[in-house]
Amino acid sequence: MDLFKKCYEFDKVEVLKQQNLYPYFHAATTGQDTEMVMEGHKIVMIGSNNYLGLTSDPRVIEAGVEATKKYGSGNSGSRFLNGTLDIHIKLEEELAEFLHKEACITMSTGFQANLGIISAIAGRNDIILCDKENHASIYDGIRLSYAKMIRYEHNDMEDLEAKLKEIPEDKGILIITDSVFSMTGEICNLPKLVELKNKYGARLMLDEAHGIGVLGANGRGAGEHFGLEDDVDIIMGTFSKSFASLGGFMAAKKEVIEYVKHTSRPFIFSASITPASVACARRSLEIIKNEPQRVQRLRDISAYMRKQLKEKGVNIIEAETPIIPIFVYEDEKAFMACKMLLERGVYVNPVITPATPPGQALLRTSYMATHTEEQMDFAAQQIAEVLKELGC
């Protein structure tokens, strides 16, 4: 059988394109901001993870430009060999201090960070407890580790405990969860996770990709939000969201970081983060530390949008984060809503099966600290009108 047979038979994309409903790979001709130009449409962007609005901040842009001038466009090697710059080390030290951890390691992407952390920390004799709605990178990291994966029902602490009770004492145990679930905006039950971790001798890893810059008075994530920073063993994060850059990181005890540095294949065999990306992440971190009001503004604008949507009768998932999913139920209606909204000047993301259960398709919307109330009023009105037209 021809290896490419499955490729030739894959027609889902072409069908959607013929129906003029294909919702992916829209090309923007301006940078990430609250308002953009995308395929000729001037849009209000409510589908980005640029939570603190720093991708267009002149200070962040300048830092990237200056780093490129000083260090060049790339590092041409792994951190393990020739690819470590002094600014990599400074970023790691600054992040460790910010997150109240002993040490930190940075990796080339957020996805790679989960691959690199999990595959190094866990092995064949270990058990990983994984929330069913964790990010795909966590699942792939677990597969790469060869540890046994046990999935527990989403945010269901009774189910998690039932599964913990069955694990033999001679097994290493790691519980992994998103702190903020990327599709629904829900927050993990960290107090109960810590309780169970301590009760059953497990370690706890939090994927804070959507939590840092969002939760806690200073934006340090779920640990700060719940007052449990010291109880989280491993913090994973990304630079592609609140840090307005590209890359990922891990923060933990120094012995754990040293172990991962010298055993993680995804880390050792990948080129290091480019100078511009490092500099942009450092400047974003500096701004987050010096301007915690951005985190509060993000909460305020998200609450304002929730209020506007609910007043217009839009069916949303309740949460405390800047991720507001809107039910449209049917996959085809999600594609149609995205198309109609783009034409009206609003960008949102479709979330369909298998990312959601059948009949539970969503429009994923997300917000920035730099959005204005006027932009929210406009977007909410367009969403309400489109959903009414589609019968949602």
Of 210, 225, 333, 371, the catalytic one is 210
d(CA 126, CA 339): 46
Give yes or no: 108 in active site. no
Of 88, 241, 333, 371, the catalytic one is 241
Give yes or no: 262 in active site. no
Give yes or no: 182 in active site. yes
d(CA 392, CA 385): 10
Of 145, 182, 240, 270, the catalytic one is 182
Catalytic residue set: 182, 210, 241
